[in-house]
Structure 1
Amino acid sequence: MSLVERVAARIETRFAGEGSGHDWHHIRRVWQLAQGLAREEGADVEVAELGALVHDIADWKFHGGDESVGPREAERLLREEGAPEALIAPVVDIVATISFKGAGVATPMRSLEGACVQDADRLDALGAIGIARCFAYGGHAGRPLYDPAMPPVLHATAQAYKTAKGTSLNHFHEKLFLLKDRMNTASGRRLAAARHAYMADFVARFLREWAGELGADERGD
């Protein structure tokens, strides 16, 4: 087995059955997307694949907000699988810098490979899958679906974003709707456009139904 295949097998075992939307299937999709983006953008495909596979290995959301756990765990796994030093550093850097940290916080990637992995991860937060993952995580975290008395907040700092206790629907405004314009690559921007539009239609429909309004399809127009 290649290094990528060995790492993939380890990650699949580790994340099987995870229920917050950060499961093996999410990682697999990000892996596939990152591989395609790396090829289109001329990045090092192996670095992008490995970065995608370990990008959620120890997400700060599940470790008390500690951003050091993910890079440390990624490095440990890569060393255990015999990865060369020349691969470990750029992959660990991707894990350390990939996360969204709030509307007012810039999260630039330091490599083209990192840009591809960040775009792939953000693409999986958009569209139909993104909608499903948003509500899966909201349920996991005990968040309400929606509360009109709780307006969205565009968090100015990473700490404010980490400690926020909003609703699942607010998350569309606080993060998901911002991702289309924060894609790094031309390929990512192209793929994000349709997923963003689908998500915007969903939120508009959600709010109409929440208010008890009938859509044209329900009125028979």
Structure 2
Amino acid sequence: MEALRAELRAIIQREMEQDPAHDIAHLDRVWANAHRIAKSEQGVNLRVLLGATYFHDLVNLPKDAHNRAEASRMSAEKAAPFLTDLGFTSDEIKAAQHAIAAHSYSAGIPPESFEAEILRDADRLDALGAVGIARTFMVAGTMGRPLLDPNDPFAADRDLDDQLWSIDHWHLKLLQLPHEMVTEKGRKIARKRARLMLAYLKQLAKEMDTDLPDHWAKLLQ
């Protein structure tokens, strides 16, 4: 498995357009998450899971691209010849392609295999916890998007809008991810990481001499 992983990483370094939030380090973390979840599941094809993990962002489109929702399908298609060259069988390639296509939040494709469920959870876990906090800042900087609304930072009296304010994305999506995990292990890890993010928000509010509205904590109930 380590030899295959090294080959996959080498391909990614050549073929994948990388950005601060979607780079080889992201893929390594997703694999660590996936491997951790897979240990608690039965019947997982680790070879398929490994291949799908490292190719899931093979086509990496900007978050504001008009065809962003197609990126996972495009990645699945682009992955096929590489998987063939690596000796994957046709069944393994189809399984890896499904996992790649179904991992995407925006694609809306239901996962229909253990590998697809695990990859979806593992990728979403990388948007939570300490890494999730860091990635928020990286994406905000890349897109030139302010962290929060200086007049109402935590949307106490305004509508949430993550196209304007980065922290709003936590409320609209990230802190809701624990409820959307499909594996028991993924759900457990997600809840722990989301609690860390909520603690960060409480500290941030304190340093801004304001309060964190109750509707934030209710997301984790």
Measured after TM superposition, the shift of residue 33 of structure 1 is 1.5
Alignment match, 1:217: none
Instruction: For residue 167 of structure 2, give the secondary structure of its aligned residue in structure 1.
Output: helix
Superposed counterparts of 1:147-162, under 5 Å: 147=149, 148=152, 151-153=159-161
Deviation at 1:187, TM superposition (A): 0.9
TM-score (norm 2): 0.79
Q: Partner of 2:164: helix, strand, or coil?
A: coil
Could you tell me how far apart the structure 2 residues matched to 1:65 and 1:208 are? 39
Cα distance change of structure 1 residues 38 and 193 upon mapping to structure 2, 3 Å threshold: same
Aligned to 1:197: 195
Question: Is residue 124 of structure 1 aligned with residue 122 of structure 2?
Answer: no
Amino acid at match of 2:26: H
1:62-112 residue CA offsets vs partner (Å, 9 max, x unmatched) = 6542414222222233234343212111111111111112xxx96531111
Counterpart position of 1:11:
12
User: Could you say which residue in structure 2 is the equivalent of 1:39?
Assistant: 39
Note the alpha carbon deviations across 1:130-189, whole angstroms, 9 max, x for none.
110111112112211112387325xxxxxxxxxx72321011012110111111111111
Contact map agreement 1:138 1:144 (CA 8 A) in 2: yes
Equivalent-residue separation in structure 1 for 2:140 and 2:86 (angstroms): 34
Do the aligned partners of residues 195 and 86 (structure 1) sit closer, same or farther apart at CA in structure 2, a change above 3 Å counting? same
Following superposition of structure 1 onto structure 2, how do residues 42-57 of structure 1 map, counting pairs within 5 Å? 42=42, 43-57=44-58
Give distance in 1, aligned partners of 2:109 and 2:136: 21
Q: For residue 143 of structure 1, what is the aligned residue in structure 2?
A: 145
Residue 121 of structure 1: how far off its partner (Å): 0.8
Alignment of 1:1-221 (within 5 A): 2-14=3-15, 18-42=18-42, 43-61=44-62, 64-66=66-68, 67=70, 68-101=73-106, 107-147=109-149, 148=152, 151-153=159-161, 165-210=163-208, 212-213=209-210
Q: Is the 8 A contact 1:60 1:70 kept in 2?
A: no
Check whether the contact 2:16–2:57 (CA below 8 A) recurs between aligned residues. Answer: no
Aligned-pair distance for 1:2? 4.2
AA aligned to 2:96 is: V
Moved more, 2-11 or 175-184: 2-11
1: CA distance between counterparts of 2:159 and 2:199?
Answer: 19
Which segments of structure 1 move beyond 4 Å, counting only runs of 4 or more?
13-16
Is the 1:3–1:83 Cα contact (8 Å) retained in structure 2?
A: no
1:117-139 Cα offsets, whole Å, 9 max, x none, are 11111111110111101111121
The alpha-carbon deviation at position 44 of structure 1 amounts to 1.4
Fraction of identical pairs, as percent: 31
The alpha-carbon distance between structure 1 residues 60 and 109, as it changes in their structure 2 partners (threshold 3 A), is: farther
3-state SS of the aligned residue for 1:20?
coil
Amino acid at match of 1:186: E
How far has the Cα of 1:19 moved from its partner? 3.8
Question: In structure 1, the residue corresponding to 2:21 is in which secondary structure?
Answer: coil
CA RMSD of superposed structures (Å): 2.5
Pairwise CA distance, 1:50? 1.2
